[in-house]
């Protein structure tokens, strides 16, 4: 391996790691095609919608949504709260992080759930807007 290739590999590995997620903290946020209110508005997303941070600028953030679309949102619209989006037809939350555990609630597709904690073996402890908590499989949601 050349010295340059080694440096590039090292630089890429520094960038690798956990993705950074934020959620919409306002009632709704407009997603644009460029970092400006004069840009074309593409989507409107509701409070608690999770977005993956790709690029941070002073007042704007380039984000990726659950479908992979890259857009821009005003930084002030995002908060630190971690939420997850149900991506399948539904997600069953269980009392314990086990497939055989009793169901606590079922969240429909596109419902945002608060991320409470990451549990072992691909489970996530979540909280529904009504206050109910349970464990869902990470494969049933997006934003973690």
pTM: 0.82
Interior angle at CA 50, CA 48 and CA 55, nearest 5: 130
CA atoms within 13 A on the CB side of 71: 20
144 residues of the chain, pLDDT tens digit each: 444 333 333 333 344 457 899 999 999 999 999 999 999 999 999 999 999 999 999 999 999 999 999 999 999 999 999 999 999 999 999 999 999 999 999 999 999 999 999 999 999 999 999 999 999 999 999 998
Q: How far apart are CA 134 and CA 49, in angstroms?
A: 19
Query: Which class does domain 18-81 fall in?
Result: mainly beta
Q: Note the pLDDT tens digit of each residue in 54-92.
A: 999 999 999 999 999 999 999 999 999 999 999 999 999
For residue 15, the model assigns a pLDDT of 46
Count the Cβ atoms, other than its own, within 10 Å of residue 43: 14
The DSSP 8-state label assigned to residue 1 in this structure reads -
Q: Do domains 18-81 and 84-142 have the same CATH topology?
A: yes
In 3D space, the residue among 40, 27, 112 whose CA is nearest the CA of residue 72 turns out to be 40
In 3D space, the residue among 84, 98, 78, 74 whose CA is nearest the CA of residue 141 turns out to be 84
CATH annotation of 84-142 = 2.30.30.40
Domain range annotation of the chain: 18-81, 84-142
For residue 38, the model assigns a pLDDT of 97
């Amino acid at each position: 391996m050349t010295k340059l290739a080694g440096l590039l590999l090292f630089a890429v590995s520094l960038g690798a790691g956990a993705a950074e997620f934020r959620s919409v903290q306002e009632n709704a946020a407009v997603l644009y095609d460029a970092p400006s209110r004069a840009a074309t508005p593409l989507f409107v997303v509701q409070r608690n919608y999770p977005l993956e941070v790709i690029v941070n600028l002073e007042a704007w953030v380039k984000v990726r949504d659950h479908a992979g679309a890259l857009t821009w949102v005003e930084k002030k619209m995002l908060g630190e709260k971690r939420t997850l989006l149900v991506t399948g037809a539904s997600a069953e939350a269980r009392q314990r992080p086990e497939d055989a555990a009793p169901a606590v609630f079922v969240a429909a597709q596109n419902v945002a759930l608060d991320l409470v904690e990451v549990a072992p073996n691909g489970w996530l402890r979540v909280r529904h807007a009504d206050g109910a908590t349970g464990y869902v499989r990470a494969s049933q949601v997006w934003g973690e």
